[in-house]
Chain A
Amino acid sequence: GENVEQHPSTLSVQEGDSAVIKCTYSDSASNYFPWYKQELGKRPQLIIDIRSNVGEKKDQRIAVTLNKTAKHFSLHITETQPEDSAVYFCAARPNKFYFGSGTKLNVKP
């Protein structure tokens, strides 16, 4: 089955700096790669996604890049704000969803 690895497990940045979270996957059949933000005790919220026919997607301060050859994809958050602090999960979907282990992002004001 699919194996998704996510790094780093924790990330601390100063407000206004950029944050990058990286994931790798193993199954070449995966063709959908969402990123979720989860605040404590709440449901994961989809923040951005990318499909395998696209290399990059941007939505305001958030961007995702995908390298199918290398089987890795990354989340980029620019101009970070304290409200960006949360746990972020990547996922890959061949037929069902496989999640990364999560990254706890702390944005210091």
Chain B
Amino acid sequence: GAVVSQHPSRVICKSGTSVKIECRSLDFQATTMFWYRQFPKQSLMLMATSNEGSKATYEQGVEKDKFLINHASLTLSTLTVTSAHPEDSSFYICSASPAGGLREQYFGPGTRLTVT
């Protein structure tokens, strides 16, 4: 149980284009999903907290107009990187906390984004 999928696993895009990343909880409902960014050999940096049916809460320094988050249902959240630039290249990981759970989170496999 508690499986989270993420798609795509890898994406290469040209500078100026937009990329959408999907995060799904496969066998549980998630009222809250988190989006992280991880640079090589560094820790996970929380970008935003996504709650189903309401606007995402962004961390300080994260541009909400650049990183669009939509939590459309209890099993799906999407992150869209708009007008991507090479500095947006990173490993993006989502996680989901089960509704009614004991505060744990389960991570997706991550998406490696490369902007050329």
Contacts and interface: CB of A to CB of B under 8 A. Distances in A.
Interface in A13-61: 31-32, 34, 36, 41-46, 49, 51
A87 to B, nearest CB: 8
Contacts of B109: 42-43
Given A32-B103, A34-B104, A102 B110 contact: no
Contacts of A101: 42-43
B67 interface: no
A96 B32 CA distance: 10
Contact of B49 (A41, A46, A96, A100): A96
A43 B91 CA distance: 10
Interface residues of B, number: 18
Interface residues of A, number: 21
Contacts of B102: 32, 51
A102 B107 contact: no
A62 to B, nearest CB: 16
Interface string B90-109: 00010100000011111111
Contacts of B110: 41-43
Interface in B42-60: 42-44, 46, 49
12 contacts: A32-B102, A41-B112, A43-B107, A44-B44, A44-B93, A97-B95, A97-B105, A99-B43, A99-B44, A99-B46, A101-B42, A101-B43
